[in-house]
Amino acid sequence: MKQFLLIILVLIPVNIISQTWQTLASLPEAMVRYEDVWFINENTGWVVEAGDDKIHKTTDGGLSFTFQFQDTGAGYMRSVAFNDANLGWVGTLGGRLYRTANGGTNWVRVDTQVVPAPSGVCDISVVGSLTMYGSGRYIGPTNIIKTTDGGVSYENIDMGAYSSFQVGIWFLNANTGFVGARSNIISEGSVVLRTTDGGNSWAKVYKSNIQNEHVWNLYFLNSLTGFGTIERFVTGNGAIVKTTNGGLNWVRIEIPITGTDLDPVGFINANTGWVANHQQFINSLKQTTNGGLNWTNLNFGSSIHGIFVVNDSIAYASGGRVYKYTSAMVGIGNSNQNNLAVRNILNQNYPNPFNPSTLISYSLIANTNVLVEIYNAAGEFIEAIVPLTRQGPGEFSVTWNAGSYPSGVYFYSLRTDLGNYYGKAILVK
């Protein structure tokens, strides 16, 4: 009996301190999505919310959030980063860039000071107390916004010579940094770009040579070990790329359980980390405990778009809700009642099979960037039947005339701010 009691007493503390992902009760389900999250320590952080285009702040580790700022004309708030407790930045898909010098009490638009104005700021990397790099856009055109004096002056670096789509950015120091992108040369596929001179010149240190994908998010655990996620545009699953020599070389690791929309990545140590699929209605968080070689689906989290690692025991994620990796109880626990109530829909083309024309229709829940592309069965880009534009909300359709193409299987891809959707069309002549 004494031995039995001793076993119970030993097991109880292990349960209490075990790390788990939990849903924070302090912020409600997002109207669209909580796009990004940033913490300067385990207690103080900020979350940006798309749809409503709001900024929220917490000073108690997510137990409560204070609304700070809203700009309904922001054009989809996408990214957030802080150099310290006072100097911070928020970027948008529409090109607006906001700066605060007092921890978010006041936010001011600064994109008007950038010449030429940014096309979008999908991700932000900060270095030291004054340097900020902003990367965009995931739908092109591509650019990097840079300041080294805390926002007194800015530089817009045109990345068109290297990339056509561009998202993740991570700088190890003021000069050495990386960008995740789709190459400007279609056949090169997804690429990781590296600079050692503060963005003046770049080298393609990784090329997948697979057309229908790009490197989305980047995360460095230290100066040597880094990871990138690969998002595909059509069927299949995502992958990660990993470096252990400071980004000089990258190894690709396929992940069979991810789906196409692989997005954020974060690691708490060399072995344990997470990736997520930002698609709606997907319990998307995946975990590895061996450095990315194998992954397990945690069946947790909806539409996760951002992961921020504070230390080896605390991390945050943003998506349909805001989530925390911790041993403390933070709210509604492991509940997965966090799926978005509505979503974009891509319908099956009609007729299918077809010859030579077919109708592709889709529904959008909100105003969004839209790109509809056609790929062949090998995943090679064919054409964009809806070039990059803003649409929604509502019902839309486009006719694809495939009269000049041979019979076969084709994939059509709808790209939006909330994710990618694809279908399969069969041309029979």
Range ranked top by mean pLDDT from 227-231, 326-330, 421-425: 227-231
Sheet with 262-267, strands from edge to edge, namely: 262-267, 273-277, 286-288, 296-297
Amino acid identity of residue 110, one-letter, is: V
Closest CA to 128 of 104, 95, 150, 144: 150
pLDDT at 280 over 80: no
* Distant-in-sequence, close-in-space partners of 60: CB < 8 Å, separation ≥ 6: 43
With bands split at pLDDT 50, 70 and 90, how would you rate the model's confidence at 331?
low
| Higher pLDDT pick, 235 / 57 | 57
Of the ranges 7-11, 217-221, 269-273, 380-384, which one carries the lowest mean pLDDT score?
Answer: 7-11
pLDDT at 353 over 90: yes
Average pLDDT across the chain, whole number:
90
**Phi-psi map region of 299: left, alpha, beta (phi>0 left; psi -120 to 50 alpha):** left
With bands split at pLDDT 50, 70 and 90, how would you rate the model's confidence at 42?
very high
Range ranked top by mean pLDDT from 133-137, 255-259, 297-301: 133-137
Torsion angle of the four alpha carbons 169, 148, 112, 33, in this order, in degrees rounded to the nearest 10: 30
Q: What share of the chain is helix, strand, coil (3-state, %, to 5)?
A: 5, 50, 45
d(CA 110, CA 122): 16
| Whole-number Cα distances in Å, 287 to 77, 239, 275, 336 | 27, 13, 7, 17
d(CA 78, CA 119): 13
Q: What is the DSSP string of 373-396?
A: EEEETTS-EEEEEEEEEEE-SEEE
Token output for 140: 């092109």
Closest CA to 136 of 159, 154, 155, 113: 159
pLDDT at 425 over 70: yes
pLDDT tens digits along 95-137: 999 999 999 999 999 999 999 999 999 999 999 999 999 999 9
pLDDT tens digits along 370-414: 999 999 988 888 999 999 898 988 999 999 999 999 999 999 999
Write down the pLDDT at residue 15. Answer: 36
DSSP label of 354: B
Cβ burial, residue 250 (10 Å; 0-12/13-18/19+) = buried
What are the structural domains of the chain?
19-326 (2.130.10.10), 345-427 (2.60.40.2550)
pLDDT at 429 over 80: yes
Write down the pLDDT at residue 342. Answer: 53
Write down the pLDDT at residue 281. Answer: 57
* Distant-in-sequence, close-in-space partners of 10: CB < 8 Å, separation ≥ 6: none
Give the whole-number percent of the chain exceeding pLDDT 70.
Answer: 92
Closest CA to 216 of 145, 175, 171, 276: 276
Of the ranges 51-65, 160-174, 197-211, 271-285, which one carries the lowest mean pLDDT score?
Answer: 271-285
pLDDT at 231 over 80: yes
Amino acid identity of residue 413, one-letter, is: S
Asked whether 307 and 21 are in contact (CB, 8 A), the reply is no
SS (H, E, C) 170-208: EECCCCCEEEEEEECCHHHCEEEEEECCCCCCCEEEEEC
| Higher pLDDT pick, 282 / 195 | 195
- Structural Rg of the chain based on CA atoms: 22
